[in-house]
Amino acid sequence: MGILDFLTGEFIDVIHWTDDTRDTMVWRFEREDHEIKYGAKLTVREGQAAVFVHEGQLADVFTPGLYMLETNNMPIMTTLQHWDHGFKSPFKSEIYYVNTTRFNDLKWGTKNPIMLRDPEFGPTRIRAFGTYSVRVSDPAKFLTEIVGTDGEFTMDEISFQVRNIIVQEFSRVIAASGIPVLDMAANTADLGKLIAGAIADTIAGYGISIPELYIENISLPPAVEKALDTRTSRGLTGDLDAHMKYAAAEALRMGGEASGAMGAGLGAGMGMAMAGQMAQAGPWGAAPAAAARMAPPPPPVEHVWHIAEGGATTGPFSRATIGQMVAKGDVKRTTHVWTAGQDGWKTADEVAELAQLFTVMPPPPPAG
């Protein structure tokens, strides 16, 4: 082998890229003056694609494998420019390596609450966050649409845009789904698939895809969550009387375990006060006696009376009317009267309410 052949072999380019980062999506192979020798060896590993750019025009995309950069391996190049010197001279071109593996555990979340109309709570606001993964599905489109001439393009440079797209579609899907807020946790998997499908076309225009999208949590505003916790606590309490007795027992126990006489006295005092209140309430949880005394008494029942004389009945008459009839002598002590709820007919002087009407007149004299 001559010295010229030896030197030629020594200067043949070996083009490859091994990524030691976790967020690099595109890396440009650097060569002084971008002069890549004819016959250079191009190594493309699994999870990579190499985009060949010649004088600003995208020439070819190489999938994983080992290539010799010659015209028989680059048919597109022959249509771009005719090389002189039997294609032996260096040509000024650029090679961009594109990482086609998945970029996982990327975060997304709603920066501001999303307004929606819930069938149970009415108008409300929710927040959500989750994770997603991204991979380059079309290296040529990704390079022309997103990267441009950037020599090293990372995931951080596009993650903000992807998050905006996800949040926008999440807001639209969640508002149109009609799923109650309390049922959203059971439907996060389906909602994630809907959102991923809704943004697929937009993302494909960038040359990327989202293989996975997860909704980790959907939360309500703190005030709504507090009200919901209160309602849940009321439901778990069950029998209020039993709950109060349990609370009193716990107060006594905590008071007994408190360090120092002051802690014990406070705990016991609280327990005794609560126990005293429950004792006043009675075994069935009735209102205390003081509260019962404050309640107004029921209004008196106004009776009306029927009168039986000579086998016929008349009435009904009010007590005032019967008092007038007593004064006229139409109703006597021996007159039979009846009112609703009374057990049969009774004489007027046998009914305490009517007997008072005869006290203003003396009884008949005794037989003598």
Give me the pLDDT at residue 318, please: 82
Is the pLDDT at 235 greater than 90? The verdict is: no
State mean pLDDT over 55-71.
84
Helix (H, G, I), strand (E, B) or coil at 306: strand
Q: Residue 368's beta-bridge partner residues? A: none
Dihedral sign, CA of 278, 280, 281, 284?
positive
Q: Are 220 and 124 in contact (CB under 8 A)?
A: yes
Beta pairing, strands 24-29 & 152-154 = antiparallel
State mean pLDDT over 302-312.
79
Give me the pLDDT at residue 78, please: 40
Q: Are 108 and 163 in contact (CB under 8 A)?
A: yes
Question: Could you please report the per-residue DSSP string of 268-286?
Answer: HHHHHHHHHHHHHHTTTTP
- Split at pLDDT 50, 70, 90, the class of 2 is very low
- Residue 8: how many other CB atoms lie within 10 Å: 14
Region of 46 (left: φ > 0; alpha: ψ -120 to 50; beta: rest) is beta
Mean pLDDT over the full length of the chain: 77
Least trusted range by pLDDT, from 90-99, 105-114, 290-299, 325-334: 290-299
Q: Which of 67, 171, 186, 76 is nearest to 128 (CA)?
A: 171
CATH topology of domain 304-358: Dna Ligase; domain 1 (3.30.1490)
Is the pLDDT at 342 greater than 50? The verdict is: yes
* CA distances to 35, 39, 75, 76, 203 from 80, in Å: 17, 18, 9, 7, 30
State mean pLDDT over 176-184.
83
| pLDDT > 90: percent of the chain | 24
- Split at pLDDT 50, 70, 90, the class of 32 is low
Is the pLDDT at 116 greater than 60? The verdict is: yes
Rounded-to-10 torsion of CA 275, 280, 282, 286: -120
| Distance, CA of 180 to CA of 185 (rounded, Å) | 10
Task: Compute and round to an integer the Cα radius of gyration of the chain.
Answer: 48
State mean pLDDT over 163-171.
91
Domain spans of the chain, in order of start: 3-99, 103-224, 238-281, 304-358
Cα 299–chain centre separation: 53
Is the pLDDT at 77 greater than 60? The verdict is: no
Give me the pLDDT at residue 304, please: 79
| Distance, CA of 273 to CA of 251 (rounded, Å) | 10
Pick the CATH number of 103-224 from 3.10.310.30, 3.30.479.30, 3.60.20.10, 1.20.950.20: 3.30.479.30
Is the pLDDT at 63 greater than 80? The verdict is: yes
Q: Are 23 and 103 in contact (CB under 8 A)?
A: yes
Q: Are 266 and 256 in contact (CB under 8 A)?
A: no
Count CA atoms within 13 Å of residue 207 on its CB side. Answer: 19
Higher pLDDT, 54 or 291: 54
Give me the pLDDT at residue 245, please: 76
| Distance, CA of 106 to CA of 213 (rounded, Å) | 9
Helix and strand tally (H, E) in the chain?
A: 11, 17
Number of residues in the chain: 368
Higher pLDDT, 34 or 226: 226
Give me the pLDDT at residue 226, please: 82
Structure tokens given for 203: 């993302």
Is the pLDDT at 142 greater than 90? The verdict is: yes
| Distance, CA of 94 to CA of 108 (rounded, Å) | 34
Is the pLDDT at 48 greater than 90? The verdict is: yes
Give me the pLDDT at residue 236, please: 62
